[in-house]
Structures are given as C-alpha cells and as structure tokens.
Amino acid sequence: MKVLKFGGTSVGSPQRMKDVCKLICEDGEQKLVVLSAMSGTTNTLVEISKCYQSGDKAGAAALIDKLKQLYSQHIANLYGTSPYKQNVQKFADGKFEYLLSFANAPFTEANEKEILAQGELISTFMVTSYLCEKGVKAALLPALDFMRIDGNSEPDMNFICENAPKFIDKESDIQIYITQGFICRNAKGGIDNLQRGGSDYTASIIGAAIHAEEIQIWTDIDGMHNNDPRVVKNTRPVRHLLFEEAAELAYFGAKILHPTCIQPAKTAGIPVRLLNTMEPTAPGTLINNEAESGSIKAVAAKDNITAINIKSSRMLLAYGFLRRIFEIFEKYKTPIDMICTSEVGVSMSIDNPQNLDLIVRELQEFGTVTVDSDMCIICVVGDMKWNNVGFESRALDALSDIPVHMISYGGSNYNISFLVKEEDKKRALQRLSDKLFKK
Ligand code: ADP
Ligand code: ASP
Ligand code: MG
C-alpha cells in the first residue's frame, strides 16, 4: 500500500480537490491519503488565535466569518447533490461555531492547538464526502485516534505503530483511506500538532507505521529543485536523492519537505517520491538509500540565523571547554546548527534566539562574546566525502566575492555549509547555481 500526501495548494480549491480525487482513484489501487488544510486556512487559524490571545474577539469573529463565506462557496462548487452539500455545510458550520466559542473563556495555549486543527478536519471531511458522492469506497480515519506525540513533542512511534494499522483493512473493499496531516494528540491527551508544514511528517510516520511500499509527497512543483525556486532563476528538478541528502536540504530550508519528515521513512527503508499535482506525469524526485557518487545535487538556505562568537585565551590547550559551552545551550534548550573552532575562539550558529541574552550572559564567563544577527546558512548538498577532491573548492570559488563568516565541512559526507549575511543570500544562491549547475 502507498501513502500519498497532498499539501495545501493541492487541495486549495474545489477544482484542485476534484483533480486530486481523480488522481488517487485512477489506478484502482487501495491507498492511504494524508491531506493538509486548504491553502491559507492554517494561516487564518493562526490569525484567529492571535486575535483571541490579544483579546480582540471582534477581530476573531470577522476572520471566522470570512472563512465561513469562503468554505460555503467551496462547498457549493464541489458537490453535485443537495444531501452532500447540506451534510458538509453542516459539518463546516459546526467547526465555525466551535471557533467562535473560544470567545467565551480565557484563551489558553491548548486552545490555540485546538483552533489550528480545524483546517485538516474540514478538508479531509470535504474530500471523503466528495469521493463518497462519486461512488468511490472511501473511509475517513481520525488521525487524533492514532497520531500521538510524547512529553518531548516527539512522535510516540510505539503507540502509532500499534494503533495506525488497526484502522486499515487491506482485505476490505475500501479503496481510499483519508486522514488528516499535521494534527495529533499529546502525552496529556490534548489536541496538538507536528509544527507548521508537518503533514509531510504525518505521511512519513504513517508510512513507517503501516510498512507502506512508498511514501509520495504531492505538491505544486515537480520535485526537489537544485536551488530555491523562490529566490533563484532557472532551477531544475533533481531526479534522485539519498535520504541523507534530502534530510540536509529539508533541514537547511528546502521548503518542499518538512525538516523531520525523512527520518521515519529512512529508518523504515521506505522510498519517498516528491511529485507534482499540477503535472502528475512528471517524474519528480525519488529519495532512497541508493548512493550515487560524485555529484553536487542541490543548494538550500536557512534564514534567521544568529552567530555567537566567543574569544578566549582559556581555550588554548584546555579540555572540557567546549562541553561547558554546550551545557549552556542545553540549559536553554537551544540547538546549535553550525560550529567552527580555533585555538582561541569558537563560533556557533543558532536559529532560535529566544534565550539569546541569557545564553550570552553565561558565555561571557568564558571570554569576550559577540553576536551577529540576520545571518543565513547556505548549504551545498551532494557527494561530499572528504576524499573526493575539488567539490568544496568549487563551492568556495562560487562565493569568492561574498563575505563568509563560517564554513562547516567534514561533519557529514553530504554537505558543506556557509554562514553569510542574509542580505547576501540571493546573490550567494544565484552564484552557486551558476557555478555548480550551469549546463
Ligand atoms: P505544500 O503546501 O504542498 O506542503 P509547500 O509550499 O510546503 O507545499 O512546499 C512546496 C514549495 O516549496 C514550492 O512551491 C517551492 O516554492 C518551495 N521550495 C523551496 N525550496 C525548494 C526546492 N529546493 N525544490 C522545490 N521546491 C522548493
Ligand atoms: N496545514 C498545516 C500548515 O499549513 C500543515 C501542513 O500543511 O503541512 O502548516
Ligand atoms: Mg509543505
């Protein structure tokens, strides 16, 4: 059985929903389909939560009303028969009433998660109902009954692997199982989510839990491109990636994949295919365990990076110095992305500056600390084994007139990363594309 995930744009209008239904029914094979909310919905739900948080009940009501009008139009356009129109309208109205009910009590963090979950609950109900109206044997699986995260917000794989398969009967005549991406329950049983963009992660986790034959991520572009198509001109799809290469690209900013979504598929050895809903016959990108040596595959960039630099003569010939520094980051639950060391200093980059002031204050005990904000990590991914000569110099050469704060190479076989100023990002990405991928 395959798991297919369709993102927000793929189900972003009644016509798109119809196209997706055609696409998933065509081959007659049984499959499990993970859906995001219709595009824009989760952003609006975030706005609604913000209104409630700031006490702006009228603002929340206005946004809910706008969403309600939009969905009423979608529902009117999607279904051909009144019983289906009425039933889905009733379901959606129930959700909008629910969103309005948060005006009646003090707003909590848990309420925000409950609000964010409504987009996927509505989109999956809409698509399942449409399939049923068309006479397709379809079943809606409640993700909240089998998707769970633990106390550290990590997927509770034991629970999911035990429970997700119970909802699927491979012998039944159900052709399409539909479920919600993104949403889950937490260790306390409350509604939660896998972070923004997390539907990819849902697909990968479920794929691993049901031993899927393949996980397909369907989106609005023909696979992973060799550079960010939002920033750089003339990018091209990469036909094949190793799991590790895809994970580096996703982590370092290739938005087509959620950063964590490769891990479950890799651990379970299930191939992942990135495909284009707007062009279903395009080959897309296949991600698996088969190494292809000797090429640079793609470039990605991660914004909003802060560099922290410590200069200290006490580092000279000392041991335990780095451990004490890392402990400070651990204490403030702040992951380090890049690190470069010399005998008299160490520079690190972080993407979460929430506790920056506290971290800097504690680091000052070790030496002089400086901070550079508005930085960006540029990550070049491919077969970068240290004994392959020339790859790193080609990347460096492309950046010859761009100030580079840090370079990280040799930590894995798959990447070389550069820390540059955010204002130089576009130029750096374009230079790398021109130098590394020009035919
Ligand atoms: P979905 O809503 O289907 O999850 P996303 O918007 O999350 O879709 O991801 C698809 C988008 O990712 C593309 O439209 C593209 O603009 C962006 N993107 C960024 N980097 C890359 C890349 N290297 N290759 C392909 N797409 C990329
Ligand atoms: N709907 C959620 C979001 O917009 C999850 C997803 O689409 O992957 O972040
Ligand atoms: Mg996405």
Domain boundaries, the chain: 2-219, 297-436
Query: Residue type for 304, please?
Result: N
Lining residues, ligand 2, CB within 6 Å: 7-8, 36-37, 42, 119, 181-182, 196-199
Strand partners, 415: 381
- Ligand 2 test: best mutation among 192, 196, 256, 277, most atoms within 8 Å of CB? 196
What are the Cα distances from residue 343, in Å, to 321, 322, 346, 406, 411?
Answer: 11, 11, 8, 15, 19
Residue pair 234/217 in contact (Cβ under 8 Å)? The answer is no
Indicate the CATH number of 297-436 among 3.30.2130.10, 3.40.47.10, 3.20.20.100, 3.90.550.50.
3.30.2130.10
162-190 pLDDT, tens per residue? 999 999 998 899 999 999 999 999 999 99
d(CA 91, CA 95): 7
Instruction: Cite the beta strand spans of 194-335 per DSSP E.
Output: 214-219, 240-242, 272-276, 285-288, 296-311
Other CB atoms within 10 A of residue 173 CB: 7
Rg (CA), the chain: 24
pLDDT, residue 300, reads: 97
Tokens representing 345 are 């200093």
Is residue 254 within 6 Å of ligand 1 at its C-beta? yes
Is residue 7 within 6 Å of ligand 1 at its C-beta? yes
Percent of the chain with pLDDT over 90: 89
pLDDT, residue 316, reads: 62
Instruction: Cite the beta strand spans of 213-344 per DSSP E.
Output: 214-219, 240-242, 272-276, 285-288, 296-311, 336-341
CATH superfamily of 2-219: Acetylglutamate kinase-like (3.40.1160.10)
d(CA 62, CA 346): 51
Closest CA to 191 of 81, 306, 85, 113: 113
Ligand 3 centre to CA of 197 (Å) is 5
Residue pair 220/36 in contact (Cβ under 8 Å)? The answer is no
pLDDT, residue 294, reads: 80
339-390 pLDDT, tens per residue? 999 888 999 999 999 999 999 999 999 899 999 999 999 999 998 888 888 8
Question: What DSSP designation does 166 have?
Answer: G
Q: Can you tell me whether residue 306 is helix, strand or coil?
A: strand
The DSSP H or E segment spanning 122 is helix 118-133
290-328 pLDDT, tens per residue? 987 788 999 999 999 999 999 987 766 678 888 999 999
Ligand 3 centre to CA of 102 (Å) is 28
User: To the nearest 10°, the Cα dihedral for 284, 202, 38, 30?
Assistant: 70
- Ligand 1 test: best mutation among 34, 219, 222, most atoms within 8 Å of CB? 219
The DSSP H or E segment spanning 178 is strand 176-180
Ligand 2 centre to CA of 195 (Å) is 8
Phi-psi region of 403 (alpha: psi -120 to 50; beta: other; left: phi over 0): beta
Strand partners, 408: 417
d(CA 147, CA 144): 6
pLDDT, residue 317, reads: 64
Percent of the chain with pLDDT over 70: 99
Ligand 3 centre to CA of 324 (Å) is 37
